[in-house]
A and B are shown apart, each in its own frame.
Chain A
Amino acid sequence: MGTTVQCDIVSCEEQLFSGSVELVIASGESGDLGIAPGHAALMTSLKPGPVRVVKEGGEEEVFYVTGGYLEVQPNVVTVLSDTAQRADHIDEAAALEAKAEAEREFANLKGDMDYDRVALQLAEATARLRAVQYIRRK
């Protein structure tokens, strides 16, 4: 087994990434997971959050996805995301604003009518921030 694996990240709108990578880290439905070359075949749904890929040579790239699916095959890792962005294209101020907005709505929530929608909004905004802050830290 080699030290790299082919990885493709696509969203409904475009192909974001395609190339050989050393490691893929994504936030799966039941927790973050790291995929290294030689991983067993796996399929999982993704939560909103950052997807990090370590490219051949150690360079890192971060993408933000709003959910989707991750498939691992012996020779290819595929991320099918609903919508995805390169994390450095995310506007941090806008993400903060969205999070504050969602939290405000959360606080003012009456009944449970919109609970799911607002919870989703909040999760997305938080995830987007996580992606931005990860880049900052580096």
Chain B
Amino acid sequence: MAVGKEIRNQISSVKSTQKITSAMQMVAASKMRKAQERMSQGKPYAEKIRAVVSHLANATPEYHHLYLKDRDVKRVGYIVVSTDRGLCGGLNVNLFKKTLADMKTWADQEVEVDICAVGQKAISFFKSYGGNVVAAVSGLGEEPSAHELIGSIKVMLDAYDEGKIDRLYVVYNEFVTTMTQQAELHQLLPLKASGEEELQHHWDYIYEPDAKALLDGLLTRFIESQVYQGVVENAACEQAARMIAMKAATDNAGEMINELQLVYNKARQAAITQEISEIVSGAAAV
């Protein structure tokens, strides 16, 4: 029957799109579980090293490490952790919005901004938006390895050492639940003392072998571990957000198919009715 051919085509094309989105949803769900596992494995280390470093910031050391000193802010650095691929809802957009809002407050104080972009989306976003991207890394995949990150982190740390930037932030999505991901901005450098008030008296560690080498190593490790944790967490967010986005797309496709099916049935019904009435009126005329 000639009637509704176009609608039938449309239905079948929506159906095949739905198949793709539902497959992507399932893939994202299984990847999310793995990413979540990776995230929770790294958490104890990240938390402990954060505790150690905040103890350190509370101490009154004889040796003042560069990373612990507050400087006048002339230039700030951001490490922006995004995903490599799209189709994950508003995840990256929210992240960039948060970053830009924060950058604007600096821009108002005439502070310049350097960016280290992690992930393809951040790279292309800052390319089109404009921004001084000093380091970029992408293609980390589902199992980000710390090695690949170290290079670009080092660019930012070197810039800090040389006094090119006076603050360093990291921005990434925090995994709250499967349904919610929250864009978070943390200050990495200089390190902020934790609010624990129990250690008010003056004290310092005994350092072995010597304070400088030890703190250099420890603080670099701390920054790396925080950024790495951010990347891993962002990866879990990506899969969760994609799963939700694809579930919504699958549901929408289902609705669309139902609507189109209704339109198609109506058209078919109308065509049949018309044919019958033509036959009847033809028979009556005979």
Contacts and interface: CB of A to CB of B under 8 A. Distances in A.
Interface of A: 8, 10-15, 28-30, 33, 40-45, 69, 71, 73, 78, 80
Interface string B216-244: 01100100010000000000000000000
Interface residues of B, number: 25
B52 A69 contact: yes
B205 A12 contact: no
Interface of B: 41-42, 44-45, 48-49, 51-52, 55-56, 59, 146, 203-209, 213-214, 217-218, 221, 225
A15 B209 CA distance: 26
A43 B208 contact: yes
Given A10-B44, A80-B52, A41 B214 contact: no
Question: B-side binding surface: helix, strand, loop or mixed?
Answer: helix
Contacts of B41: 13-14
A73 B204 CA distance: 10
Contacts of B51: 78
Contact of A80 (B45, B204, B206, B209): B45
Nearest to B49: A80
A71 B209 contact: no
13 contacts: A8-B48, A11-B45, A13-B41, A30-B209, A33-B208, A41-B205, A42-B205, A42-B208, A43-B218, A45-B208, A69-B217, A78-B51, A80-B52
Contacts of A29: 208-209
B273 to A, nearest CB: 70
B55 A73 contact: yes
B214 A45 contact: yes
A12 B208 contact: no
A13 B44 CA distance: 9
A42 B52 CA distance: 11
Question: Which 8 pairs show the lowest CB-CB distances between chains A and B?
Answer: A44-B208, A15-B44, A42-B206, A43-B205, A10-B44, A10-B45, A71-B52, A41-B205
B55 to A, nearest CB: 6
Contacts of A42: 205-208
Interface centre among B59, B205, B217, B221 (most CB of A within 10 A): B205
